[in-house]
């Protein structure tokens, strides 16, 4: 049976810029950086205490996905603290911490224009 989710792919147009954003601004750890073909790389990143990895990779023919809303959410035990820390590192937020019936959330943008939800655990 399925035991967990191995990775989630985030489409990027500039691998070096995206790698810098995810490691320096979000604090993810680089585990793999390999050439995939002449135009792209396969970059795997770990989040501390998480089983699922983030992969920076754009499948050929899927370049139009770069800069879109990502149908996934990151979690944090303290949204406001995480918001303040990431904002101080230069992360752009579309929505500040906001209360909703299901919890607290915010939205941020990565270096490639992808929009993510940051949600309470």
The pTM (predicted TM-score) of the whole model is 0.93
Tell me what pLDDT residue 77 has: 93
Location of structure tokens 């500039």: 14
Tell me what pLDDT residue 32 has: 97
Tell me what pLDDT residue 43 has: 98
Q: Is 42 helix (H, G, I), strand (E, B) or coil?
A: strand
Location of structure tokens 């989630």: 8
Q: Which residues contact 105 (CB under 8 A, 6 or more apart)?
A: 73, 79, 95, 97, 98, 117, 118, 119, 120
Class of domain 7-120: alpha beta
Tell me what pLDDT residue 38 has: 86
Tens digit of pLDDT per residue, the chain (121 long)? 999 999 999 999 999 999 999 999 999 999 999 998 888 999 999 999 999 999 999 999 999 999 999 999 999 999 999 999 999 999 999 999 999 999 999 999 999 999 999 999 7
Joined together, the tokens standing for residue 15 give: 């691998």
Q: What is the CA radius of gyration of the chain?
A: 15
- Domain ranges for the chain: 7-120
Tell me what pLDDT residue 89 has: 97
Tell me what pLDDT residue 121 has: 73
């Amino acid at each position: 049976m399925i035991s967990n989710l191995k990775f989630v792919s985030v489409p990027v147009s500039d691998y070096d810029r995206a790698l810098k954003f995810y490691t320096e601004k979000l604090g993810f750890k680089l585990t793999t950086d390999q050439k995939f073909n002449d135009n792209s790389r396969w970059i795997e990143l770990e989040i501390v205490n998480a089983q699922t990895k983030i992969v920076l990779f754009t499948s050929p023919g899927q370049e139009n996905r770069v800069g879109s809303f990502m149908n996934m959410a990151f979690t944090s035990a303290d949204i406001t603290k995480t918001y303040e820390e990431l904002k101080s590192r230069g992360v752009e937020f579309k929505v500040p911490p906001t209360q909703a019936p299901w919890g607290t959330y915010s939205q941020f943008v990565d270096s490639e224009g992808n929009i993510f939800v940051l949600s309470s655990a």
